[in-house]
Amino acid sequence: MLHEIIREHPDISGFSGTAAAEDEGQHLQSVYKPGKAFGGPGKFAFDKNAYMDESHPLATHESAVKIFKQWSDCFDLSCKYLIEKSPPNIIRTRFLQKLYPHCKFIVILRHPLAVSYATQKWSNTSINSLLEHSILAYEIFLKDMKHLSSVYVLRYEEFVLDPKKTIENIFSYLEINPVNVNHAVHSNVNDRYFSMWEKDRKKILNRVFDSAAKKFEHRSNKFGYSLNNCSELLPLPWSGMHNQR
What pLDDT band is residue 180 in, cutting at 50, 70 and 90?
confident
In a domain, 212, yes or no: no
Number of domains present in the structure of the chain: 1
In a domain, 35, yes or no: yes
Query: At a CB cut-off of 8 Å and minimum separation 6, what does 113 contact?
Result: 131, 190, 193, 194, 197, 225, 227, 230
In a domain, 67, yes or no: yes
**Length of the chain, please?**
245
Average pLDDT for residues 14-40, to the nearest whole number?
96
Q: Which is it for the CA torsion 67, 71, 72, 77, positive or negative?
A: negative
In a domain, 168, yes or no: yes
In a domain, 221, yes or no: no
Distance of CA 216 to the CA centre of its chain: 19
In a domain, 171, yes or no: yes
Asked if pLDDT for residue 213 goes beyond 90, the answer is no
Mean pLDDT in the chain?
93
Residue with more model confidence, 127 or 99: 99
In a domain, 220, yes or no: no
Note the pLDDT of residue 205: 58
The CA-to-CA distance between both ends of the chain, in Å, stands at 30
pTM of the full structure = 0.94
Asked if pLDDT for residue 245 goes beyond 80, the answer is no
Asked if pLDDT for residue 198 goes beyond 60, the answer is yes
In a domain, 108, yes or no: yes
Domain limits for position 120: 2-184+235-242
Q: Could you give the percent of the chain with pLDDT greater than 70? A: 97
Note the pLDDT of residue 206: 65
Asked if pLDDT for residue 96 goes beyond 60, the answer is yes
- For 233, counting Cβ atoms within 10 Å of its Cβ (0-12 exposed, 13-18 middle, 19+ buried), the class is middle
Asked if pLDDT for residue 221 goes beyond 60, the answer is yes
CATH number reported for the structural domain that contains residue 138 in this entry: 3.40.50.300
Note the pLDDT of residue 211: 78
* DSSP code at position 13: E
Average pLDDT for residues 62-85, to the nearest whole number?
97
